[in-house]
Structure 1
Amino acid sequence: MMTDPIADMLTRIRNANSAGHDRVEFPASKLKAAVCKVMKDEGYIRSFKIIAKSTSDIKIKVLLKEDAIIGLEKVSKPGLRQYRGYKDISRVISGLGTSILSTSQGVLSDREARKRKVGGEVICNVW
């Protein structure tokens, strides 16, 4: 059993990106798919697809952009969750990066969370 599946997903993306691969696969979940959707909307990945080989073997396949992701950082950890109000969401690299948050309105980027005036758990930072 994995303690932190989101950290595993981010590590797989980080490793594939630094190794120069153009795609990566990992086990699927709704939260991982939502994080991938935000990353796609913000322009960090080309696309993602949910692949069901069987009912028990469901994966997410991510197509990476070349040199789009410089860094990925997990913020909220299982032992210490990080929650922020919309006014307290810090900017990643002076606004050049993106924070991904899990809010009551779904998984959102920091820009969208500020626009909707909703806070939540800061999942990760991408730049």
Structure 2
Amino acid sequence: MITDPIADCLTRIRNGCLAKTDIIYIQYSKLKQNILKILLEQGFIVNYKLKTNKIIKVYLKYIYPNKNSVIKYIKRISKPSLRKYSSSKNLPRVLNGLGIAIISTSKGIITDKLARKKQLGGEIICYVY
């Protein structure tokens, strides 16, 4: 039994990047699909597809010729044992604006830059750069 499915999803992405695999499989949930949608929009992954009702197929992105991963760092911030919330004025700037923080707000899952623009606070899910 997985106690933190979001951390499991991020760990699968991190391990896939370290192992330099092109495709990884993640169990489906709407929250994970929204996180993957943001990673796709920001250019961290190539694509993702809903394979069945229970599995998402994720295509990781690499920089050739050395096949270095685009994702250098991905870390879960708010955990089930210790939730991290932030107001719109105190949202973190990841790598001085070069990375993204994924925030769960009342308007859905969005990046820190969009949350600042819309003046929304919420739960800080993870950092990616």
Q: TM tier, shorter chain?
A: over 0.9
Q: Does 1:97 pair with 2:93?
A: no
Aligned to 2:66: none
> What SS does the aligned partner of 1:115 have?
helix
Residue 87 of structure 1: SS of its match in structure 2?
Answer: helix
CA deviation map 1:26-45 (0-9, x unaligned): 11000000000011111111
Q: Distance in 1 between matches of 2:6 and 2:88?
A: 22
For residues 74 and 84 of structure 2, what CA distance do their matches in structure 1 show?
A: 16
TM-score by length of 2: 0.93
**1:5-64 superposed Cα distances (whole Å, 9 cap, x missing partner):** 000000000000011111110110000000000111111111111111xx5xx1011111
Give the aligned length: 123
Equivalent residue number for residue 77 of structure 2? 75
Aligned residue for 1:124? Answer: 126
How do 1:21-100 and structure 2 match up within 5 A?
A: 21-52=21-52, 58-66=54-62, 67-100=69-102
Please report the TM-score for the alignment, with normalisation by the length of structure 1: 0.94
CA distance in 1, matches of 2:105, 2:39: 16
| Structural RMSD (CA) | 0.8
C-alpha deviations, 1:72-125, integer Å up to 9, x for none? 010000100000111111101111110001110000011111111101100000
For residue 94 of structure 1, what is the amino acid of its counterpart? N
User: 2:9 corresponds to which residue?
Assistant: 9
Gaps (5+ residues) in structure 1?
A: none
Q: Distance in 2 between matches of 1:117 and 1:92?
A: 18
